[in-house]
Amino acid sequence: MKFVDEALIAIEAGKGGAGCLSFRREKYIPRGGPDGGDGGHGGSVIVCADGNLNTLIDYRFQPRYRADNGRPGAGRNKTGAGGGNLVLKVPVGTTVYDDETNTLIGEVVANGDVMTLAQGGRGGLGNTRFKSSTNRAPRRTTPGNPGEAFRLRLELRLLADVGLVGLPNAGKSTLISQLSAAKPKIADYPFTTLAPQLGVVSLAPHRNFVIADIPGLISGAAAGAGLGTRFLKHLTRTRILLHLVDVAPVDEKDPVEVVETIADELEQFSPSLAARERWLVLNKADLVDADERDEFVATLNDAFNWPRPVHLISGVTGEGCELLANHLMSRLEELAIERREDPDAEQAERAWLDQMAEEAHERIAELRETRRMQRKGVDAEDEDDDDQEMEVIVVRD
């Protein structure tokens, strides 16, 4: 299945039905008077979050949606039937923007959340509405109002508690397969992960969290290099970032330089995302001996004075993974208690999430405009580089 996290759609709410011009004509009832009914209201376009969906691919193939029109009124003061609402089902975490003004309309962040995107037009008035003491036989009606119409952009941001970042081949896919039931593609070459992966880490009943893996970042990712920029926005809904570093890289890169590269890319993409709580995780510990491990940890601690413990793990053997998962669960529970007990903390957290999302949106819009200028004159089909044949695996225990 293709993983599509952005789609442009055109929507139009239904038009209201026209009011009816009618007079009561029945035997033995002279001068019966007006009896034209009102038109029915047009249907609205509504978006609804569905936890069973994980991609916006359907909206790539069907980009136009229109709700039903209201029916016209009828004699005997009959109001026309209202148009049925059109409900668009989207994955949880979908954000809706007005594509013409680039303004945020809203988002659906929980299963079952609904939001009205376009309001249906009101039905017209029948001539009964215009009856008065001075106008006993009005011949005036009004047509139904048109429904709202918009060109929208849907953007999907996966919702997870923990997000994985790192260079290609840092072992992110191996770690998520070790911690959860997710089975992402794993190979010994870069960019084996072409789409975000989600997994649920279950430690005990009612103690679990969701972890997200995105394609590896490279130097220049914030400027559009590689795949990372397209998917960094999925980390704007995470509470903790796990920064994975390969302790036995094939190219023997300096670990300090590796950490700085990822930190710089996060900063350029979204300063608020870069300031998010980030844990340093040293992976592939099974490939180095004990002395090298200690030296590796000491080097990074000296360079960055990391505020939280540096975790040393092996995604292949599972060494240190259980301890890491338990520490993450405990920290997430602490954060949840803080938000529950302090209303200001919950408000500050929400503001931070919104700020990260807005910065990510602005950065992606800048990159999109830059590419558009570079490819000016190229056929629209050639401009669409977001479609990749890739498999999405979302596993929930």
Q: Which long-range contacts (C-beta less than 8 Å, at least 24 apart) are formed by 292-295?
A: 292/247, 293/247
Average pLDDT over every residue of 33-62: 93
pLDDT over 60 (residue 70): yes
Alpha-carbon span 315 to 174, nearest angstrom: 5
Joined together, the tokens standing for residue 113 give 């959340």
Alpha-carbon span 296 to 279, nearest angstrom: 16
DSSP annotation of 97 reads E
Q: How far is CA 116 from CA 97, 170, 286, in A?
A: 13, 42, 53
Query: For residues 34 and 131, is the Cβ–Cβ distance under 8 A?
Result: yes
DSSP annotation of 92 reads T
Percent of the chain's residues with pLDDT above 90: 37
Percent of the chain's residues with pLDDT above 70: 87
pLDDT over 50 (residue 385): no
Confidence of residue 377 (pLDDT cuts 50, 70, 90): low
Confidence of residue 4 (pLDDT cuts 50, 70, 90): confident
Alpha-carbon span 191 to 274, nearest angstrom: 22
The pLDDT tens digits of the residues spanning 137-193 come to: 999 999 999 999 999 999 888 778 998 988 887 888 888 888 887 665 554 544 455
Q: What is the pLDDT of residue 278?
A: 92
Q: What is the pLDDT of residue 102?
A: 83
Tell me the pTM.
0.74
Hey, which residues does 107 pair with through a beta bridge?
95
Joined together, the tokens standing for residue 271 give 């300063």
Higher pLDDT, 189 or 243: 243
Candidate ranges 187-191, 329-333, 340-344, 385-389; pick with highest mean pLDDT: 329-333
Q: How far is CA 20 from the centre of its chain?
A: 45
Alpha-carbon span 227 to 175, nearest angstrom: 20
- Domain residue ranges of the chain, discontinuous segments joined by +: 6-156, 162-395
Q: What is the pLDDT of residue 187?
A: 46
Q: What is the pLDDT of residue 183?
A: 65
**Residue 39: left if φ>0, alpha if ψ -120 to 50, beta else—which one?**
beta
Confidence of residue 86 (pLDDT cuts 50, 70, 90): very high
DSSP annotation of 9 reads E
The fold for domain 162-395 equals: Rossmann fold (3.40.50)
Average pLDDT over every residue of 336-351: 86
The pLDDT tens digits of the residues spanning 280-298 come to: 999 988 888 877 788 888 8
Pick one of 3.40.640.10, 2.40.30.10, 2.70.210.12, 3.40.50.720 as the CATH number of 6-156: 2.70.210.12
